[in-house]
Amino acid sequence: MDKGEKRFHREGGVLLHPTALPGPYGIGDLGSTAWGWIDWLSEAGCRIWQVLPLGPTGYGDSPYQSFSSFAGNPLLISPESLMAEGLLREDDLESIPEFSDDRIHFGTVIAYKDRLLNLAMDHFRAGITPALEKEFQVYCQQQSYWLDDFTLFMAIKGEHEGISWTDWEPSLALRKSHAISRARERLKDEIEAHRFRQFLFSRQWQTVRQLAAKSDLKIIGDLPIFVAHDSADVWAHPEFFFLDDAGMPTVVAGVPPDYFSPTGQRWGNPLYRWDVLRDDGYTWWLSRLESVLSMVDLVRLDHFRGFQAYWEIPAEDEGATTGRWRTGPGEDFLEVAQKALGDLPIIAEDLGLITPEVVALREVFNLPGMKVMQFAFDGDATHEYLPHNFERHCVAYTGTHDNDTSRGWYASAPEETQEFCRRYLGCNAEDIAWGMIKVIWSSVADMAIAPMQDLLELGSEARMNFPSRAEGNWQWRVRAAQLSPQLAGRMQEMSVLYGRLVEPTKDKTEDG
């Protein structure tokens, strides 16, 4: 077995972001419902749980537009777990808004969670849980390399009613030392509150990860290649990005036209000054990788092709078609990362316009790429995403968070595509989602992963994200009743039949 393949085995799993878990508080969290989800995955014979980026969400509630590459999303903190630790009282959890069971209404959730987290901080300051004080101080010291900048950024942002940092007074936007010192003193209580939220998130996530490990469950995380402009990352390290004197991007990220969008996509993220990062030994980027790998077992490196070459769009242009390709850091960066991390526990998100140079870069480091079934039926039997053409060292998907659900995709596909799909899968239109699951589970791919929506055979109403739409994404949630023993049994049978679960969990084969 080649060196880079040691981390990858024949396994199957489910893509479901924690926000989509069931629960009474308007959004999934890291408490008992996450623990129950891990139990359900184990019963279903799954050995993989894939999540999206776990950071605090900014513009459009997108996990890909986070206020920090290092921080966790406080909205995922479990109120029930806080109550169990004495940080909330039972009556604090009364008067819960009438949240939807299957959609997240972020405005209402944010207001509700902010109130609870402020109460938890008040109780902590009052000395209700003295055992946590030392642990909190140790956490703050260990994470100070990013936590100090992030919490100051969030405190100043709150003082300015959430506006972008480039709209703050110049002395704060450009981090003049006198202004920063005064802000740290003026906002010390707010800074401490943000630190405490990160501490709580970290504790609860590590509990979830430990439970996953006990169930032999790998967690695959997600690391976006680019960061949000309105983030502590860019504010604290402007030297690493193409910015003007006021902190605004001069060029931004995106992609030219491809099968996700016929007009391309203008993401708007600032682009890296890779020469400056290289001269610094890629220290900041290595810290990003190490941070996410302290939380997950493997990481999907989003937009991997951008490390070979990326699409540069002038900041003043509103579209994506006027950009140009620029050379990325390529082997130089990945060699440094491999030296620091050893075998790279990375899945290369190699979707979009992929050139032989991108493939060669992935193969040099023996990173598995992605195969998405929904893209397999646009051509003929030679298409690389058809399972009979897979190589073993890859990760096969029915679809991703950026795609429609498989049923939704099929319903809107051209008639000739639908016919090819039915013939290939050997099923009728009603069974498309499970037909796709079956063929990727039976394929040679090391890993097979399906979004939870496909296990439930849901249509476009359950789609997680529309890449070309700025609002109304990331809202879908699974209902508790949908995580049934019958569905778990069906999944386990699939994994047993196709060798993705060597030893089925106790009693489930009798039900399945």
Q: How confident is the model at residue 510 (pLDDT cuts 50, 70, 90)?
A: very low
Q: Quick one: how far is CA 165 from the chain centroid? A: 24
| pLDDT given at position 427 | 96
SS3 call for 263: coil
CA distance 255 to 223: 18
Q: How confident is the model at residue 171 (pLDDT cuts 50, 70, 90)?
A: very high
Q: Distances in Å between the alpha carbon of 17 and those of 51, 261, 509? A: 5, 24, 28
Q: Quick one: how far is CA 414 from the chain centroid? A: 31
Does 159 have pLDDT greater than 90?
yes
Angle between helices 131-142 and 188-214 (to 10 degrees): 90
CB 509 within 8 A of CB 496: yes
Q: Quick one: how far is CA 453 from the chain centroid? A: 17
CB 72 within 8 A of CB 55: yes
Does 165 have pLDDT greater than 60?
yes
Which helix or strand (DSSP H or E) is residue 235 part of? Answer: helix 232-236
- The CA angle 456-13-451, to the nearest 5 degrees, is 40
> Per residue in 364-384, pLDDT tens?
999 999 999 999 998 899 999
CB 388 within 8 A of CB 445: no
| pLDDT given at position 68 | 98
| pLDDT given at position 259 | 67
Give, as one character, the DSSP assignment of residue 184: H
Q: What is the mean pLDDT of residues 51-65?
A: 94
Does 505 have pLDDT greater than 70?
no
Does 445 have pLDDT greater than 50?
yes
Q: Name the β-bridge partners of 396.
A: 371, 448
| pLDDT given at position 260 | 65
CB 242 within 8 A of CB 273: yes
| pLDDT given at position 129 | 83
The candidate with the shortest Cα–Cα distance to 208, out of 81, 89, 346, 121, is 81
Q: How confident is the model at residue 507 (pLDDT cuts 50, 70, 90)?
A: very low
Q: Distances in Å between the alpha carbon of 151 and those of 8, 117, 120, 187? A: 37, 15, 17, 10
Q: What is the mean pLDDT of residues 475-490?
A: 98
Burial 131-165 (b: 16+ CB within 10 A, else e): ebeeebeebbeebeebbbbbbbbbbbbeeeeeebb
Residue 6, amino acid: K
Which residues belong to the active site? 302, 349, 402
The candidate with the shortest Cα–Cα distance to 16, out of 446, 375, 477, is 477
Q: What is the number of other CB atoms lying within 10 angstroms of the CB of residue 494?
A: 24
What's the mean pLDDT when you consider all of the chain? 94
| pLDDT given at position 273 | 98
Does 86 have pLDDT greater than 70?
yes
- The CA angle 347-353-358, to the nearest 5 degrees, is 50
CB 502 within 8 A of CB 44: no
Residues 6 or more apart whose Cβ sits within 8 Å of residue 39? 215
Q: What is the number of other CB atoms lying within 10 angstroms of the CB of residue 306?
A: 22
> Per residue in 304-341, pLDDT tens?
999 999 999 999 999 999 999 999 999 999 999 999 99
Q: What is the number of other CB atoms lying within 10 angstroms of the CB of residue 169?
A: 11
Does 5 have pLDDT greater than 60?
no
Does 1 have pLDDT greater than 50?
no
Q: How confident is the model at residue 263 (pLDDT cuts 50, 70, 90)?
A: confident
Q: How confident is the model at residue 78 (pLDDT cuts 50, 70, 90)?
A: very high
Structure tokens at 30: 């890291």
Give, as one character, the DSSP assignment of residue 46: -
SS3 call for 409: helix
Does 471 have pLDDT greater than 70?
yes
| pLDDT given at position 45 | 97
Q: How confident is the model at residue 6 (pLDDT cuts 50, 70, 90)?
A: low
Q: Which range is least confidently modeled, 104-118, 285-299, 424-438, 493-507?
A: 493-507
Structure tokens at 304: 């991997």
Residues 6 or more apart whose Cβ sits within 8 Å of residue 95? none
| 301, 8, 44, 74: CA torsion to nearest 10 | -30
CA distance 408 to 453: 10
The candidate with the shortest Cα–Cα distance to 349, out of 369, 378, 325, is 369
In 128-242, beta strands by DSSP E: 218-223
Q: What is the mean pLDDT of residues 79-100?
A: 94
CB 324 within 8 A of CB 311: yes
Q: What is the mean pLDDT of residues 151-161?
A: 98
The number of helices, as runs of H, and strands, as runs of E, in the chain is 19, 12
| Proportion of the chain above pLDDT 90, given as a percent | 88
In 245-308, beta strands by DSSP E: 251-255, 265-270, 298-301
| pTM metric for this prediction | 0.94
